[in-house]
């Protein structure tokens, strides 16, 4: 396994894990926010989680872009040095 495959594999796993965590948080947030619970404090927690999930989606998109650029750069460097397969 060369470095490009290693970086690509690692970034794919991290992105999948981050998206799973985001979707879980988003689902829990909207469930709490929409639940027929009379306590406004609990609903505020749901709102806070939903806002955090939106920020997480932004950072996931930004991070995915950076990781894709790193993989592409590693591929270019590997090919330029003649290390690729």
Q: In whole angstroms, what is the distance from residue 27 CA to residue 21 CA? A: 10
For residue 84, what pLDDT is reported?
62
Task: Return the residue matching tokens 């920020």.
Answer: 55
| 77 dihedral zone (left: phi>0; alpha: psi -120 to 50; beta) | alpha
pLDDT in tens, 20-36: 887 887 788 778 777 67
Query: 27-85, pLDDT tens digit by residue?
Result: 887 787 776 777 777 777 777 877 887 788 788 878 887 877 887 888 788 888 887 65
**Hey, what long-range contacts does 23-29 have (CB within 8 A, 24 or more apart)?**
25/49, 25/52, 25/53, 25/56, 26/50, 26/53, 29/53
């Amino acid at each position: 396994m060369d470095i490009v495959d290693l970086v690509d594999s690692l970034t794919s796993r991290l992105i999948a894990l981050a998206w799973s965590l985001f979707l879980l948080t988003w689902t829990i947030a909207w469930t709490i926010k929409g639940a027929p619970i009379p306590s406004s404090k609990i609903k505020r927690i749901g709102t806070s989680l939903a806002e955090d999930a939106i920020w997480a989606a932004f950072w996931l998109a930004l991070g995915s872009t950076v990781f894709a650029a790193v993989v592409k750069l590693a591929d270019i460097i590997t090919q330029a040095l003649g290390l690729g397969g």
